[in-house]
Amino acid sequence: MAKTKTKFVCQECGYETTKWMGKCPGCQEWNTMVEEFVSSSTPGWRTSQTTMQSSRTKPQPITQVPREKEERMDTTMAELNRVLGGGVVPGSLILVGGDPGIGKSTLLLQVSAALASSKKKVLYISGEESIKQTKLRADRLGITDDQLFVFAETAYDIIEQTIESVDPELVIIDSIQTVHLQSVNSAPGSVTQVRESTSALMQIAKSKGIAVFIVGHVTKQGSIAGPRILEHMVDSVLYFEGERHHTYRILRAVKNRFGSTNEIGIFEMKEVGLEEVKNPSEIFLEERSSGAAGSAVVASMEGTRTVLVEIQALISPTSYGQPRRMATGLDHNRISLLMAVLEKRVGMLIQNQDAYVKVAGGVRLDEPAIDLAVAISIASSFRNVPTQAGDIIIGEVGLTGEVRRIARVEQRVLEAAKLGFERVILPKKNLGGWTVPDGIEVIGVQSIDEAIEVAIGGASNGPTFEI
């Protein structure tokens, strides 16, 4: 008979130990260790090993491997196709994560309907809703197609039999935390169950050439729940982001074996479902107030797309012993770094000022090219002098106050020209070697104080001091 042993597994990072601990040594989280039972006999693992052994081929030189063109399934949603790298690759395993109520199920149901309308058989398996609840959502979205099959089940053995009988081209599992294997002696949603269920689904996807979308819950920190190995097992990881009280949603690829990473797709949530936003720059800038101090527009690269967004800053005298530094859509440490550069290299006395900086529209920016726009928005608010409404500001700022070269400058300037901007302030090292579009002026700067002089002039309503 098989022996049963117990182990304690952290539900945050997957750390395993033979005894209970209040604090996980792996991720330093408290009260995350859960007892799980392990059987010494693992028939599922032996079966998968046997299958792998039978499907193995002999090693061969890479020059003799035949080149095959990737056939992708068109989702008819240009924003989703962009994020996936051109469409859904058959046999791929795609993980979609996001906050509760953000619209993951709505997005995947719309994808299912789009592929079903193109005569592709789709199987939508829900472990959180009944078939009637899925039908209600489909009616709201106006989905009626016989090629879309819905099924409510959480037992993996039954799910596997259903996939065998339906033989679909696309399978959606909503969500992976509800699926459980009978051979694994732990509760659904545990680290072991999530890992083993994903591994089993991966074997189905690769062996049968079926594209599989799996929905993953997120933790309170915003990362996908379950072991970190889950993101390594899948082919693509997509995060669905956005505020629940705003209509705009951002689908971001943080891993993609079949396309570029950090690509984003932007959608708007409406009564009839998610609709694509064709030109996000216009959406993010449509409510921009002209003549307000502390505002700067930057051309940021999100994957292969240029997005123009507004960065807002508010600098005010502090009433606390230690000034506050708050950032929304930006790295908090980057704000502190740029304020230190402004104080040391430009002479702005902002060590006793509270700083509040945000990216308008709910977008999160993390590339170095936004440094100069953030610094100028802070300087504009501190001096109470507005920037010009027709300016775009891009550039990386170094600790010595220099403005450093950035990538894809021509693409950024072209997008600014399309939206009617008149002037671009950028690193001087980026001048030359490319064609400036008609109707826009390009100004190269070498240092942050030179950029501030060009953007807001020498006027000052705030205190300064000389170094």
Measure CA 305 to chain center.
Answer: 14
Cα–Cα distance for residue pair 443/424, rounded to 1 Å? 6
Would the annotation count 199 as a binding residue? no
Closest CA to 236 of 220, 250, 216, 218: 216
Task: Answer whether 131's CB lies under 8 Å from 150's CB.
Answer: yes
Instruction: Classify 172 in phi/psi space as left (phi over 0), alpha (psi -120 to 50) or beta.
Output: beta
Task: Answer whether 248's CB lies under 8 Å from 234's CB.
Answer: no
Closest CA to 7 of 184, 170, 180: 184
Would the annotation count 101 as a binding residue? yes
Cα–Cα distance for residue pair 112/89, rounded to 1 Å? 14
Residue 431, token pair as written in the block: 């001048």
Cα–Cα distance for residue pair 388/143, rounded to 1 Å? 48
Please name the residue that has the structure tokens 């099924």.
151
Pairing of strands 122-126, 148-152: parallel
Would the annotation count 289 as a binding residue? no
Cα–Cα distance for residue pair 107/109, rounded to 1 Å? 6
Q: What are phi and psi of 105, to 5 degrees?
A: -65, -40
Closest CA to 33 of 23, 43, 44: 23
70-79 burial string, b = 16+ CB within 10 Å, else e?
eebbebebeb
Would the annotation count 94 as a binding residue? no
Q: Three-state DSSP class for 265?
A: strand
Helix axes 332-341, 371-383, angle to 10 degrees: 60
Would the annotation count 273 as a binding residue? no
Would the annotation count 100 as a binding residue? yes
Residue ranges of alpha helices (H) inside 260-358 are 280-285, 332-341
Would the annotation count 392 as a binding residue? no
Would the annotation count 102 as a binding residue? yes
Annotated binding residues for ATP, written as ranges, equal 98-105
